[in-house]
Amino acid sequence: MYAALRKMENRHIVLWLIKDACWNLEWPGLAFTAYWPTLLLAAYITNRSLHEPVERWFNGAVCYWLLANGAWMFADLFAWEVLNLPARIFFAAGLAILFYYYLIIRPKLPADMSRA
């Protein structure tokens, strides 16, 4: 299962790069279309990694980062300024997850589990 999850993560990176390339090239329709499978695959990967003590925290942070990135992209491409505040909140949530992991969870993990 671990190898299959890694393959999905690699596909997720490709989708994310396609989404960001479309954003950068100012192709709003393609960026909008590429965003949804990227987000759904990130959510799926996070769901599949919930039993992994370390991976779940990082994948959760990635989901919030992608939510923030999408809100920022939509605000930029479609002039939906109303999404600027949610983007900031999602970025902060992703950082909060990582701070929580590094300050609370990781110190309690056995040495062989706290590899990240």
Query: pLDDT at residue 32 above 60?
Result: yes
Q: What is the pLDDT of residues 35-71, one digit of tens each?
A: 999 999 999 999 999 998 789 999 999 999 999 999 9
DSSP state of 80: -
Smallest CA-to-CA distance from 19 within 34, 33, 36, 9 is with 34
So what's the pLDDT on residue 5?
A: 83
Q: Would you say 94 and 64 are in contact if contact means Cβ atoms under 8 Å apart?
A: yes
Mapped onto helix, strand or coil, the DSSP state of residue 26 is coil
Q: What is the pLDDT of residues 64-93, one digit of tens each?
A: 999 999 999 999 999 999 999 999 999 999
Q: Would you say 19 and 73 are in contact if contact means Cβ atoms under 8 Å apart?
A: yes
